[in-house]
Amino acid sequence: MLTPEQIAGLDGLSLALIDEFRRMLPSAGRKEEITDRLEVTIPSIHPEVGDIVARLDGDEITVSIGEHFHCHFSTYLQDSLSSDEVERATAREAVEYIADFMAGDMILRLQFKGKQFRSSETYYRDTEVKPPGPDDREYDWSGPLP
């Protein structure tokens, strides 16, 4: 966890992200640290899935799951709110996404051609999607899916 001195030096989006993690995922066993930016890491429960890492990238939050997937939650698209509301909404959206994945509501699909990684995506379990390809791998937070 961060020290009070580190927290005092954070920008609004970083503070909102920490607040949302503490509110929505209080027992996630996360590690908060300052590298060249704020990073919050939730260690994986299965090595093939990999850690979840939320990091600040300027005016957006990048969420990574393992080494092959990441997505962005940006403050740019929310013009009608105050800057505090935009930061809070962006942080909430990122942490809700992480919470949904950890709850098993989402699937991570890694697409391969042979052993060559091609792309990745996440989708909600109740979403109708194209079946995985013969070399694709799918995971939820607990590990590989059959």
Give me the residue spans of the domains in the chain: 4-102, 106-144
Average pLDDT over the chain, rounded to an integer: 94
Order of strands across the sheet that contains 38-42: 31-34, 38-42, 52-57, 60-65, 69-74
Q: What is the pLDDT of residue 77?
A: 65
User: Model-level pTM?
Assistant: 0.93
Residues whose CB falls within 8 Å of the CB of residue 138, separated by 6 or more in sequence, listed in order: 107, 108, 109, 110, 132, 144, 145
107-129 tens-digit pLDDT? 999 999 999 999 999 999 999 99
